[in-house]
Amino acid sequence: MIEYVVGKLVDIETQYIVVDHHGLGYQIYCPNPYRFQSKMEHTVQVFTYQYVREDVIRLYGFETKEERALFEKLLNVSGIGPKGALAILATGEPGHVVHAIEEEDESFLVKFPGVGKKTARQIILDLKGKLDDFAPNLFKQSGMTATPKSLKTENPLLEEALEALRALGYVERELKKVRPHLEKEDLTTDAYIKKALQLLLNG
């Protein structure tokens, strides 16, 4: 298994980043590649998980070991594959995910793409009480001070869309204007981005 890759970040796409290590380009799929935007053309360390199946070999990457550990835990849940696990981690707030699992907050988990009530219940059944070994570090890295109530009202898909818009160069002042309009909608990440761009261009 490849524990981590250290190299120059040379490309960022919607699903993956490319890290150049001594002339060898590693294509690494990430929860939200745009989180690496500030490190473009700089040396990065990406903790990796190698996924091997008969028809696919992929390298998945994370900013921390704890985030990778949660990804591995999610892969062990029936009905959750790499794509679903990445979507759950895409907000960059894994501590919130752990909290939702421990509190049996299905309403938070079903906000993620491909996670219905049945899958949310399965996640809770399979993982509750099994995340204590790395949960404290996840909370610390997330800067988590929110109450359970605020967690339930947070929209991870909207947060992912806003992060993508920041990567495109939009500043907080602009995003603050359109956010109230977006919060009224129940959309996918891509739809939030398209809606936001319409509002920004017409505003």
Mean pLDDT across 179-186: 88
Residues ≥6 apart with Cβ < 8 Å to 65: 47, 134
Share of the chain above pLDDT 90, in %: 44
- Pair (83, 122) in one structural domain: yes
> Looking at residue 30, which CATH number applies to its domain?
2.40.50.140
Give me the amino acid identity at 103: E
- Pair (116, 161) in one structural domain: no
- Pair (118, 137) in one structural domain: yes
Residue 157 predicted with pLDDT over 60: yes
Q: Is the pTM of this model over 0.75?
A: no
- 57-66, 88-97, 116-125, 164-173: which has the minimum mean pLDDT? 88-97
Q: How confident is the model at residue 123 (pLDDT cuts 50, 70, 90)?
A: very high
- Pair (88, 162) in one structural domain: no
Mean pLDDT rounded to a whole number for the chain = 85
For residues 12-27, one letter each, b for 16 or more C-beta atoms within 10 angstroms of the residue's C-beta and e for the rest, the string is: beeebbbbbeeeeebe
